[in-house]
Structure 1
Amino acid sequence: MVAGPNLVHQSMAVLDVQYRCVAKGAEEMVDISTAATATATATATAATVVVTPPGSPVFRPASELDMRESDAIPDVALEVNVLPFVPSIRSGSYTDIGPRRFMEDEHICIDDLSAHMGSLFKCPAPSAFYGVFDGHGGPDAAAFIRRHAIRFFFEDTGFPQSSQVDDVFLEGVENSVRKAYLVADLALADECTVSKSSGTTVLTALVLGRLLLVANAGDCRAVLCRKGEAVDMSQDHRPIHAAEHQRVLESGGYIDDGYLNGVLSVSRALGDWDLKLPPGTPSPLIAEPEFRQQLLTEDDEFLIIGCDGIWDVMSSQHAVSIVRKGLRRHDNPEQCARELVMEALRLNTFDNLTVIIICFTSEQQDSSPSHNRREAPVLRCCSLSTEALCNLRSWLDIDRGD
């Protein structure tokens, strides 16, 4: 093997085979990808190629270059691996009333938050915002939060402005989102068009650069798919959960047959002011969100956000498997959301259904080990003896009628 020769490229049509006889030692042949050529030029690194020793002629049709490994490729793969992961965000959603008489769910999907907010809004790129609002006691509370979500989360609560994610920025974002939940809850108390018995659970997801931040108050759930494995990004706030059970009792509430104060199946929600004590006093039902965060890598494929109608009848891993299979088949997050809803209906869910699928790659990628290493295609070549070359030339001449 010799490095640093002049590069000679050749091609071959499948139905019109061309050939050339090269005297061994007189010319050296190489065929590398455009990416390899660009990388070699940019780094001023000599390419490693296949060189024929002096002697007899050799026939090398380009279609046979895949029969021997090229040494130029590993260097290209190494250059690709050092590039930082940047999420490429796209989403799809689907809702269904299910077996209920009324639809009480609402949701919001913003794949490009910066563009949505305008030029004065400064945040890390890419940026996105999603929310699922699962109403109860009527649709009014969920509809109100959905209608005013941008104001609550980004305009009235001092959302921090920065192009970089660091500890100070992250703390500011969490404080702002927490404040948004509490301000929205108080707004429901003052809103005369919303019944005091109407409430909603709220789960929101922010993507800021590589940071994924999930905030949850209620029993909606966010599930991250990491190399095919389900990673829960939220905790269902139900009265039967140990930590929530203790908090409810300590705040003066009680649990009857799994229901908070014998009425509500969740222990955190916005609204429901007929169950809450006056503002500023401890209450068994709270609007305080819990946070989970994740620094996204190329192993993180997509996020599922769904209301409890999904999770009542299937596990997080079951949902991830359905969506992953769908993305590999048609690469359409909206269709995956519909398929997940259809599966919940098949399993006899008894609630409204809302699902959002957020993909972090431009297209669904194979998660095999070889793909994760981003290996480039292997190039191969072979040589024919002088006798084989002459025979092949004779056959081609006969086919052409020469």
Structure 2
Amino acid sequence: MSEVQSVSNLLGTETTTNDEEITGQTKDDLTSPTSSSTGIELVKEQKECSSIRDETSAEGTEITTPKEHAQFPYFKVGVVEDCNKRYRRTMEDAHCYFYDFAGVEGQGFFAIFDGHAGKQAAEWCGNHFHETFQEVLEKNATLPIPEVFNLTFAEADQRLNESAAKHSGCTAIAALVRTDICDEGDENGGTETVARNGTDSAKKAYKRALYTANVGDARAVLCRDGIAKRLSYDHKGSDVQEAKRIVDAGGFVLNNRVNGVLAVTRSLGDCSMKGCVVGAPYTTETALTEKDSFLILACDGLWDVCSDQDAVDLVKDVMDPQAASEKLLEYALQNFSMDNLSVMVVRFTNT
């Protein structure tokens, strides 16, 4: 079995995709005031890294700073957003991220939501999607994480469609990192020196797994040994399989848009189009190794003007994830991105 296993939910079917297929761009290459984790009541005292608005540039960039930036041994997070005032009047993106998610050491949860037809759906997800994920996880503790993501997206979609946010929609990319400390010398684990509360340092082996899930064209890209590995799938009307699914469901694709209106074929919300525009995510499961340096999560405002490999090349030597996210955003602005921009960089650490 390859290190990267993918499950794409299409009308109840599952497919396994090898590493090379994920590495290549998906065929046909297959969008709120920003809601962050600020103010969210934490469950089980999980360590929150909320977004602190501490700087605004002339372009309207809001730089967000983690409360405990660089204090965690397993990964560091940087995130930045921009309304892109030259082309957009309102900000419809949202994000959230947590260290030690659900009270589990070394477990991180990260997500970006790109709204359309209003901010409501993305804003709701920024505030509640992680809560929904944790509820589903606790009720289904033995399920594989990809299945937990499947149930979470379905539940979030249902809750959105029962709320005032149902007429807006959003694309979504979510990721979970799990870290398991195990015996030294495990063939699948890396090694790190762990020191806690002044005790003697000891060599420990650890396993880290990365799980992702997305709907729409928000994207996750992993840097593995300097090479970009896409861990998401662009659900667009230009994709042949997605277009066929839309037609089979009674809709049509005109100018690469569902029913001539929506550019993405999967999303959360969009109640009026739910017969065609489903919320079933594409999911991946990846065993992280020492070759995996960082993960980029971003909405299509970045990917419309930047390839996966170009994004990795731009920031692979930038050790500070906050500086890396800012560099990617600035690149998108300089290359005339016409959408709201949200970029998150998660850099994995070994100490």
Name the structure 2 match of 1:198: 168
Is the contact between residue 132 and residue 202 of structure 1 (CA under 8 Å) also seen in structure 2? yes
Is the contact between residue 94 and residue 354 of structure 1 (CA under 8 Å) also seen in structure 2? yes
Superposition map of 1:283-362 within 5 A: 283-325=275-317, 327=318, 331-361=319-349
Quote the Cα distance in structure 1 between the aligned partners of 2:226 and 2:99.
23
Quote the Cα distance in structure 2 between the aligned partners of 1:306 and 1:159.
30
Superposition map of 1:376-387 within 5 A: none
Confirm or deny that 1:131 pairs with 2:145.
no
Residues 245-286 of structure 1 deviation map (CA, whole Å, 9 limit, x = unaligned): 12111111110001011110000001011122xxxxxx2110
Name the structure 2 match of 1:92: 78
Q: Percent identity?
A: 37
Q: Which has the higher strand share?
A: 2
Residues 315-339 of structure 1 deviation map (CA, whole Å, 9 limit, x = unaligned): 00000011113x1xxx210111011
Name the structure 1 match of 2:194: none
CA 1:95/1:107 → structure 2, altered by over 3 Å: closer, same or farther? same
Quote the Cα distance in structure 1 between the aligned partners of 2:303 and 2:137.
31
Is the contact between residue 159 and residue 176 of structure 1 (CA under 8 Å) also seen in structure 2? no
Is the contact between residue 203 and residue 220 of structure 1 (CA under 8 Å) also seen in structure 2? yes
Matched residue SS, 1:285: coil
TM-score (norm 2): 0.68
Is the contact between residue 224 and residue 300 of structure 1 (CA under 8 Å) also seen in structure 2? yes
Name the structure 2 match of 1:67: none
CA 1:159/1:295 → structure 2, altered by over 3 Å: closer, same or farther? farther
Q: C-alpha displacement at 1:172, in angstroms? A: 3.0
Quote the Cα distance in structure 1 between the aligned partners of 2:137 and 2:77.
26
Name the structure 1 match of 2:232: 234
Quote the Cα distance in structure 2 between the aligned partners of 1:307 and 1:316.
12
Q: What is the alpha-carbon root mean square deviation over aligned residues?
A: 1.6
Q: Which structure 1 residue ranges, 4+ long, deviate > 4 Å from structure 2?
A: none
Q: C-alpha displacement at 1:362, in angstroms? A: 5.1
Superposition map of 1:113-152 within 5 A: 113=101, 117-118=102-103, 125-152=105-132
Structure 2 gap ranges (5+): 1-72, 180-207
Q: C-alpha displacement at 1:151, in angstroms? A: 2.1
Q: C-alpha displacement at 1:238, in angstroms? A: 0.5
CA 1:159/1:312 → structure 2, altered by over 3 Å: closer, same or farther? farther
Quote the Cα distance in structure 2 between the aligned partners of 1:242 and 1:230.
24
Quote the Cα distance in structure 2 between the aligned partners of 1:197 and 1:110.
28
Residues 106-155 of structure 1 deviation map (CA, whole Å, 9 limit, x = unaligned): 01111221xxx34xxxx5x5210000000000101100111112321102
Quote the Cα distance in structure 1 between the aligned partners of 2:227 and 2:131.
35
Is the contact between residue 146 and residue 285 of structure 2 (CA under 8 Å) also seen in structure 1? no
Q: C-alpha displacement at 1:157, in angstroms? A: 5.4
Structure 1 gap ranges (5+): 1-86, 162-168, 277-282, 364-402
Matched residue SS, 2:251: coil
Quote the Cα distance in structure 1 between the aligned partners of 2:306 and 2:342.
14
Residues 314-371 of structure 1 deviation map (CA, whole Å, 9 limit, x = unaligned): 100000011113x1xxx210111011000000000000000110011258xxxxxxxx
Q: For 1:215, give the aligned amino acid.
A: A
Quote the Cα distance in structure 1 between the aligned partners of 2:299 and 2:324.
15
Q: C-alpha displacement at 1:159, in angstroms? A: 5.2
Is the contact between residue 91 and residue 111 of structure 1 (CA under 8 Å) also seen in structure 2? no
Is the contact between residue 111 and residue 129 of structure 1 (CA under 8 Å) also seen in structure 2? yes
- Which of 176, 179, 186 does residue 151 from structure 2 map onto? 179
Q: How many residues align?
A: 249
Quote the Cα distance in structure 1 between the aligned partners of 2:216 and 2:97.
19
CA 1:135/1:149 → structure 2, altered by over 3 Å: closer, same or farther? same
Quote the Cα distance in structure 1 between the aligned partners of 2:225 and 2:146.
27
Name the structure 1 match of 2:30: none
Instruction: Choose 176-185 or 296-305, whichever is displaced more.
Output: 176-185
Is the contact between residue 96 and residue 127 of structure 2 (CA under 8 Å) also seen in structure 1? no
Is the contact between residue 160 and residue 173 of structure 1 (CA under 8 Å) also seen in structure 2? no
CA 1:159/1:133 → structure 2, altered by over 3 Å: closer, same or farther? farther
Is the contact between residue 136 and residue 151 of structure 2 (CA under 8 Å) also seen in structure 1? no
Quote the Cα distance in structure 1 between the aligned partners of 2:167 and 2:249.
20
Matched residue SS, 1:211: strand
Quote the Cα distance in structure 2 between the aligned partners of 1:158 and 1:179.
12
- Which of 260, 263, 266 does residue 262 from structure 1 map onto? 260
Quote the Cα distance in structure 2 between the aligned partners of 1:107 and 1:159.
24
Q: For 2:128, give the aligned amino acid.
A: H
Is the contact between residue 90 and residue 362 of structure 1 (CA under 8 Å) also seen in structure 2? no
Q: For 1:221, give the aligned amino acid.
A: R
Matched residue SS, 2:271: coil
TM-score (norm 1): 0.60
Name the structure 1 match of 2:212: 214
Q: C-alpha displacement at 1:239, in angstroms? A: 1.1
Quote the Cα distance in structure 1 between the aligned partners of 2:139 and 2:133.
7
Larger radius of gyration: 1
CA 1:159/1:96 → structure 2, altered by over 3 Å: closer, same or farther? farther
Name the structure 1 match of 2:191: none
